[in-house]
Amino acid sequence: MNRRIFIRTTSLAIGGLILAPNIACSSERLIGLQIYSVRNAINQDLNGTLAKLAEMGYTSIEHAGYNNGLFYGLKPTEFKNLVESFGMKLLSGHAGMSPTASDDNWKEIISANAEAGLKYLVVPSIGGQHRNSQDALKRTADGFNRMGEICNNHGLRFAYHNHAFEFEKVEGKKIYDTLLDETDPDLLTMEMDLYWTYRGNNDPLEYFEKYPGRFELWHVKDMEAGEELFFAEVGHGIIDFEKIFAAKKQAGLVYYFVEQDASRRDPMESVKMSAEFLQKTGY
């Protein structure tokens, strides 16, 4: 792996980075969290955990808890109202949707998330059968375009979230590139996971330049030094966020969400550390 792209060129005390640049005439700071990061705490005490996240300074969240019409056991409007009761916004969510499922299946999921007041609905991953050939990837892209149409009809924006496998090549072309090339920008945007992009040995800046405006959502997470390249709290690892955020307009960034898949400490402590860094630097 080429480690050069991971090494900071500045100190951790970096600033001047502005959140949500595409929201015109807004000075509101939105520090988002994908609450999968604190999934055990959420499952044990939803209300108490949301209260603590708001106290940390998080002002928006992305859910990962949709199941059969409910969000963490609550009806769509109940969950929306609960999040808002703590002064936060429910802006985005992850939901498993197969690109080869029926329109009726997609509509059920999309309708519930629209009722919850989301702005974005994100498919977090795709199975191997949907990416094992260029033909399979093109069918997946067709499904994504159709999902995007249905999302648009419900007032949502559809997005796809990457891991590292999207940067593997299938029949000579990267999976991620095929998905970008074969989908309509009016129907799909990407939620770029910065950690997994680097973990796949790719530089986000190169994608921002090649596909400008296609990355409206980001997962902001950091990476430890060393062979393991384990997840780090934002601002406590080796990813150069100054360089990445300098290209936010080219990328098309609208919202970002902190996410930490796993932690070496209590996850609530980890997300607090990330929030403190973001507040200090003004991201």
Across the range 81-109, mean pLDDT stands at 97
22, pLDDT greater than 90: no
Pairing of strands 157-161, 169-170: unpaired
What domains are there in the chain, each with its CATH number?
A: 29-281 (3.20.20.150)
Distance CA 116, CA 105 (A): 17
- Among candidate residues 139, 136, 185, the one with its CA nearest the CA of residue 160: 185
pLDDT tens-digit readout, 118-133: 999 999 999 999 999 9
242 Cβ partners below 8 Å, 6+ apart? Answer: 9, 10, 14, 16, 17
Percent of the chain residues topping a pLDDT of 90: 88
- Biggest CA pair distance of the chain: 51
Structure tokens at 71: 């969000």
Sign of CA dihedral 53, 56, 58, 59: positive
pLDDT at 148 over 70: yes
Supply the pLDDT for residue 112.
Answer: 98
Give the C-alpha separation, 114 to 227, whole Å. 42
**How far out from the chain centre does Cα 11 lie?**
25
pLDDT of residue 28: 64
Q: What per-residue confidence (pLDDT) applies to 11?
A: 32
Residue-wise pLDDT tens digits, 150-175: 999 999 999 999 999 999 999 999 99
pLDDT digits (tens, 9 = 90+) for 76-85: 999 999 999 9
Q: Which two tokens stand for residue 58?
A: 């998080």
DSSP codes, 62-93 = EE--EETTEETTB-HHHHHHHHHHTT-EEEEE
Show the tokens assigned to 114.
């629209």
The model's pLDDT over 216-264, given as tens digits with 9 standing for 90+, comes to 999 999 999 999 999 999 999 999 999 999 999 999 999 999 999 999 9
Tell me what pLDDT residue 174 has. Answer: 98
Q: Cβ(188)–Cβ(148) under 8 Å?
A: yes
